[in-house]
Amino acid sequence: MLKRINGTDPFLASIKISDAKYPAPFPSQLEYGCPARGTWNIVHTGFLIPQAHEIFVCAEGCLRGVVLTAAEMNASDRFSTVEVREQNLLDGDMEQLIIEGVTDILGSLDYKPRAVLVYTSCIHHFVGCDLGLVYRTLRERFADIDFTDCYMTPIMRKSGLTPDQLMRQQLYSLISLREKDPKKINIIGNNLPTDKACELFGLAQEAGYEIREITDCKTYDEYQSLGEASANICFNPVSKCSGEELEKRLGQKLLYLKTSFSYDEIEKQLSALCGYMGVRTPDFSKSRERCENALRQTREIIGDAPVVIDYTAVLRPLSLARLLLTHGFNVTAVYADGFTGEEREDFDFLKMHFPQLDLFPTVNVRMRSVCRTRESKTLAIGQKAAYFTGTRNFVNIVENGGMYGFEGIIKLCGLISDAWTSEKDTRRLIQIKGMGCGCV
Amino acid sequence: MSNLKNQTAAFISTYASDTSGVCSALYELGGMTIMHDASGCNSTYNTHDEPRWYDFDSYVFISALTEMEAIMGDDGKLISDIVSAAKELKPKFVAVAGTPIPMMTGFDFKAIANEIERQTGLPAFGFDTNGMHTYVSGAAKAFRAVADRFITDKLGKTSGLSVNLLGATPLDFSVNSSLQSAKELLTENGIETVSCLAMGSDLSEIRRASSARVNLVLSYSGLDAAKLLQKRFGTPYVVGRPCGAFGKRLMADIKAADRTGKNAVGFAGSSEGDILIIGEGVFAGSLAAAIREETGRKAFFASATEFDDGLFGEADVIARDEAELRPLIGKSRVLIADPLYKPLCRGMGIRFVPMPHEGFSGRIFRKDIPDLTRSIAPLLEQL
């Protein structure tokens, strides 16, 4: 098979942060998809509901990716499909197709799921499919199964909530209203379990609170018991809508404790939690000191080596870049196609104090043919950054890797040191879908 | 109303789509292919349908269509984005492949291709795929278009026996030694390979395809191109994929086609019962023929992808849905198919022999995809 020999100058695709516009430094044009696949998709996320079955209703081309996602995570027995064909558009029988298709599938399964997630697609949106009728009928036919509406509608990604946001919202839509336990709090909106060593758990325990999240649930009943919490902690920007919906529907107070790599911002979030629990905010100076030590030791290990960061690794890449740059690390590039609202202050800071920082897109067509090696040993944080620089020294995480707070910074320093001293099989690791979901 | 229950799959996978088929067929030819879609088709293609993605750069992109662009019919942005990328990347041609939403909005592929061609000066194609057919359908459209546009010069025939290989993509051949083995088998039989549409040949080789004396159609996706080349240059074609003992038959068919100018489909002649093979029609048919020849057992096939009734034996069928496949499986003693078909055998009491197929299970079983060109013995051991 033919193989690439080299590539074009990567800096043809990049822009200095000093010249970049916030929040979208690059124009929206044709898009390229690089082979780093560790981020989760809506199939992976839906399977977080225990004892639930997923049914996707869409065209063959749209089914292909989700069917094989399920197969790769060895979850095909919890996954079925209804294929939309041309005649369904002409016959106008889309509602019947969904109802009869789901009925047929539920009659064929070897087990009875507690819940069914029915995913409709862009087509249904465009033909004005009466989803209300569909779900009413299904709930009547299968009174002992909970149904919820999920969406694979990428064409709507710039029209309100993105499919990822919608999925994270619908993930909790089956939780019923329950009597509240004032001492229970959920963490919501994450695909990966939150590191139990982070300050959230310690503070809650000391105050007599219990924190749980969907990743702890092994049964559908345990999932339902998330409805007993009085409040939901959310720190992923794309999941904020989930918390707002639960606050409205179940009356669970939303504690949006945004993720950050700034000591002051972290302390502010933890103080908010203490305020909710009615306890005094502890002195975090020791935590700050431990972070400083960890950063210093890590800096000593990797020296002036170039560090590159991508947006799939951490929820706030610019905040991380700022932390590392202000602690002497040689962060040379951030790979991101755009930034969330929470990154504005970090963007402006970096623009002013580190104007030479390069911003690289990940989907721009130029990225298809750029040189994917670097002359000097490079430390990457994230799979896309590793792919585009060709390094085997990378921190293999997605979505913050479950890290949060001061402990998150300390843990990340450890991962950086490990990545610097131990090479990884980048090619193999980054092509595994849905990191941490069970795919191998 | 159609039989809606036929469209459900409680247990099995689905084939790569026609959109992916276009991309796969054109991958090595130096062009730029754009899937006209919101998102999703690209990651599906480059994750599950394209084993060359990591190592072999090819310009396959997505248009990133939005709801407002679709509703407002804003084709201008698509054209502008394509022209801009083409000017920078300098591909040899441009192709636009459709997905469900462009079909619904009545996207005019031909007109858009003409406009792109006018603005870039590059050959441009518009493929009215819609993500509702298998890769075989899309690849067939692409191969035919390439043949139509680039195989135009009537060159003198080679002095010795020669072929073009038509219909080769990794979705049928994966990236193991299968295609190379087929080429070597041809060479050993004194048959030169002029070009391969489209793995391992660039456009300059493909432009010389009219010099081949026979076209060998390796998968159903190559048949339309073969028919066009026959019409244009009088080149006869043979349908079949070298496979165990069937390979000898195929070589004989190629020599006969060269002598007589007549087409041949060597794998027809099945009768129902015993061994059922599910897969792409030409491969499944060739494998069935090889099994019949080597074991004397009755073997027939179900083409789960687009196929032509004219290529069937008595028992062979087109069947793609669980509801259609179950009765066929029930009547057989052995099922040879991709491992993701195995759940359909549950409770049937039949032997299942895995035959991984990139076009169905993608990369999951890639390392287990066998090269059966020379010998099907590893398969026979499992029957």
Please state at what angle helix A405-421 crosses helix A285-302, rounded to 10 degrees: 10
From the candidates A12, A68, A100, A118, which should be mutated to test the interface with B, based on the most B CB atoms within 10 A? A68
| Portion 165-194 of A in contact with B at CB < 8 A | none
* A87 close to A61: Cβ distance less than 8 angstroms: no
Nearest Cα to A65, choosing from A154, A134, A137?
A154
Residues B190/B160, Cβ–Cβ less than 8 Å? yes
Is B52 in contact with A369 (Cβ distance < 8 A)? no
pLDDT reported for residue A6:
63
Please compute the mean of the pLDDT values over residues B78-103 and round it to a whole number: 96
Q: Using alpha carbons, select from B324, B380, B322, B374 the residue that is nearest to residue B351.
A: B380
Question: Do B115 and B48 fall within a single domain?
Answer: yes
Q: Contacts of residue B84 in chain A, CB cutoff 8 Å?
A: 29
What does the pLDDT read at residue A186? 98
More confident residue, A292 or A128: A292
Q: Please give the residue of chain B at the shortest CA–CA distance from A371.
A: B57
Q: Helix-strand-coil percent breakdown of chain A, rounded to 5?
A: 45, 15, 40
The gap from C-alpha A397 to its chain's centroid, in whole angstroms, comes to 11
| Domain co-membership, B93 together with B160 | no
Overall fold of domain A181-277: Rossmann fold (3.40.50)
Distance (Å, rounded) from C-alpha B310 to C-alpha B330? Answer: 25
**Within 10 Å of residue B76's Cβ, how many Cβ atoms?**
11
| Residues of chain A positioned with their CB less than 8 A from the CB of B82 | 30
> CB–CB of A85 and B101 under 8 A?
no
User: Looking at the structure, do residues B279 and B203 belong to the same domain, yes or no?
Assistant: no
Q: Which pLDDT belongs to residue A155?
A: 85
User: Do B123 and B161 fall into the same domain?
Assistant: no
Domain boundary, last residue among B265, B286, B315: B265
B270 inside domain: no
Q: Is the pLDDT of residue B1 over 60?
A: no
The answer to whether the Cβ–Cβ distance between A100 and B361 falls below 8 Å is no
Q: Given an 8 Å threshold on Cβ–Cβ distance, is A62 in contact with B41?
A: yes
Closest alpha carbon to B53 in B41, B63, B45, B62: B45
Instruction: Return the pLDDT at B12.
Output: 78
Helix (H) or strand (E) holding B127: strand B124-127
Nearest to B67 among A1, A121, A156 (CB): A156
Crossing angle (nearest 10°) for helices B281-295 and B246-260: 110
Co-location of B238 and B300 in the same domain = no
pLDDT above 60: residue A2: no
Are the beta carbons of B55 and A80 separated by less than 8 Å? Answer: no
Q: How many domains does one find in chain B?
A: 3
Q: What is the CATH T-level fold of the domain A50-170, as seen in this structure?
A: Rossmann fold (3.40.50)
Domain containing B129 equals 14-133
Residue B182 shares a structural domain with residue B158: yes
Tokens 């002649």 sit on residue? B269
Task: Name the domain boundary from B211, B234, B265.
Answer: B265
- Opening angle at CA A90, ends A84 and A92, nearest 5: 75
The answer to whether residue B128 sits within a structural domain is yes
Report the alpha-carbon angle A114-A115-A116, nearest 5.
140
B290 and B259 within one domain: no
| Inter-chain residue contact B61 with A76, CB threshold 8 Å | no
Q: What is the pLDDT of residues A399-409, one digit of tens each?
A: 999 999 999 99
Is residue B1 assigned to a domain? no
CB atoms within 10 A of CB A24: 12
- B319 in Cβ contact with B334 (< 8 Å): no
Q: How far is A274 from chain B (nearest CA, A)?
A: 42
**With bands split at pLDDT 50, 70 and 90, how would you rate the model's confidence at A7?**
confident
Average pLDDT for B338-364: 94
CATH code for position B359 = 3.40.50.1980
Q: Which of B30, B35, B88 is nearest to B59 (CA)?
A: B30
Whether A365 and B85 lie within 8 Å, measured CB to CB:
yes
Query: Is residue A322 a contact partner of residue A342, using CB atoms and an 8 Å limit?
Result: no
The structure tokens listed for B126 are: 């518009």
Query: Facing residues of A263 across strands?
Result: none
Q: How far is A410 from chain B (nearest CA, A)?
A: 34
Mean pLDDT of B331-344: 94
The answer to whether residues B225 and B329 belong to one domain is no
Please report whether residue B235 resides in a domain: yes
Contact pairs from chain A to chain B, CB under 8 Å: 211
**Taking CB atoms and an 8 Å limit, are B8 and A62 in contact across chains?**
no
Residue A5: pLDDT over 60: no
Contacts of B81 in chain A (CB under 8 A): 29-30
Q: Out of A4, A30, A68, whose CB is closest to B57?
A: A4
Calpha distance A293→B377 (Å, rounded): 63
Q: Are residues B350 and B309 in the same domain?
A: yes
- Residues 415-434 on A with a CB inside 8 Å of B are 427, 431, 433
Same domain, B350 and B370: yes
Report the range of poorest mean pLDDT among A155-164, A214-223, A383-392, B116-125: A155-164
Domain end marker among B85, B102, B133: B133
Question: Is the pLDDT assigned to residue A99 strictly greater than 50?
Answer: yes
pLDDT of residue A4: 54
Do B256 and B165 fall within a single domain? Answer: yes
The tens digit of pLDDT for each residue in A274-290 reads: 999 999 999 999 999 99
Could you give the CA distance from residue B123 to residue B149 in angstroms, rounded to a whole number? 8
Average pLDDT rounded to a whole number, residues B174-190: 97
Residue whose structure tokens are 């083995």 = B181
Q: Are residues B260 and B282 in the same domain?
A: no
Candidate from A3, A65, A85 with C-beta closest to B132: A85
**Segment holding A272, helix H or strand E:** helix A263-277
A71/B5 CB distance under 8 A: no
Instruction: Give the per-residue pLDDT at A1.
Output: 45
Query: How many angstroms separate the CA atoms of A410 and A83, rounded?
Result: 48
B142 within some domain: no
Model-wide pTM > 0.80: yes
What ipTM describes this predicted complex? 0.93
Judge whether residue B289 has pLDDT over 70.
Answer: yes
